[in-house]
Amino acid sequence: MLSKRMEKAINEQINAEIFSAYLYYAMTSYFESMTLNGFAHWLRIQALEELTHAQKFVSYLNDRGARVHLSALEGPDNEWDSPLAAFEAVYEHEQKVTGLINKLMELAQQESDFATVNFLQWFIGEQVEEEAAADEMVQKLKLVDKTEGGLFLLDQEVNNRSFVLMPELTGLF
């Protein structure tokens, strides 16, 4: 059984994951308004990934006999100065989420909650991937910033990103 502190912290993480999806859907709309549909596609997939992360935490709480308690979400930003600024915000947000996951891990270790430590290992690795993907987009946008047509070509490239539902969640959706 989870401690009340761990249960509360995981519930807060569920809200953080759902907020991440909310933010990325706002960014999707931002890019669609500029007809940069490849970037919108990239962020739509990112939003879906965040929702699957939230579901993974929900399932974990249920498996441990704990309750899920959702809270109201603040509205995300809806405007950015440029595509580069939007993806810099993605990268900063992913760094923030990494910090939240690390704090969960610290709490699980303090409480000698080895099941939660084991569960969080996946998220530790996932955040390395999330930060790397966001940073790659930032670096590519910096490269094409002054190139005529570069933004268009990069938009076309990122339109090829795909989403694969985690096997353990297949029956939940």
Q: What is the pLDDT of residues 126-163, one digit of tens each?
A: 999 999 999 999 999 999 987 778 888 898 888 887 88
pLDDT tens for 97-125 read 999 999 999 999 999 999 999 999 999 99
CA-wise closest residue to 54 among 32, 23, 87, 92: 23
Q: What is the pLDDT of residue 150?
A: 85
The answer to whether 10 touches 87, Cβ cutoff 8 Å, is no
Q: What integer best gives the mean pLDDT of the chain?
A: 94
Is residue 172 in some structural domain?
no
Q: How far apart are CA 35 and CA 44, in angstroms?
A: 14
Residue 108 forms part of a structural domain: yes
Question: Residue 93: helix, strand or coil by DSSP?
Answer: helix
Q: Alpha-carbon distance 97 to 120, whole Å?
A: 13
Tens of pLDDT, residues 64-95: 999 999 999 999 999 999 999 999 999 999 99
Q: Is residue 149 part of a domain?
A: yes
Domain of 107, in residue numbers? 4-73+80-161
Residue 43 belongs to a domain: yes
Q: How far is CA 102 from the centre of its chain?
A: 15
User: Where are the alpha helices (H) located in 34-113, listed in sequence order?
Assistant: 37-63, 83-110
Distance CA 7, CA 111 (A): 12
Whether 127 is covered by a domain: the verdict is yes
Predicted TM-score (pTM) of the model is: 0.91
Q: Does 57 map to a domain?
A: yes
pLDDT band at 168; cut points 50, 70, 90 = low
- DSSP three-state, residue 111: coil
- Tell whether 173 is covered by a domain: no
Q: What contacts 123, CB < 8 A, 6 or more positions away?
A: 53, 101, 104
Task: Give the pLDDT confidence score for residue 163 in this predicted structure.
Answer: 84
Tell me the CATH number at 66: 1.20.1260.10
**How many structural domains compose the chain?**
1
DSSP character at residue 36: -
Q: Is residue 92 part of a domain?
A: yes
With a cut of 60, say whether residue 172 has pLDDT above it. no
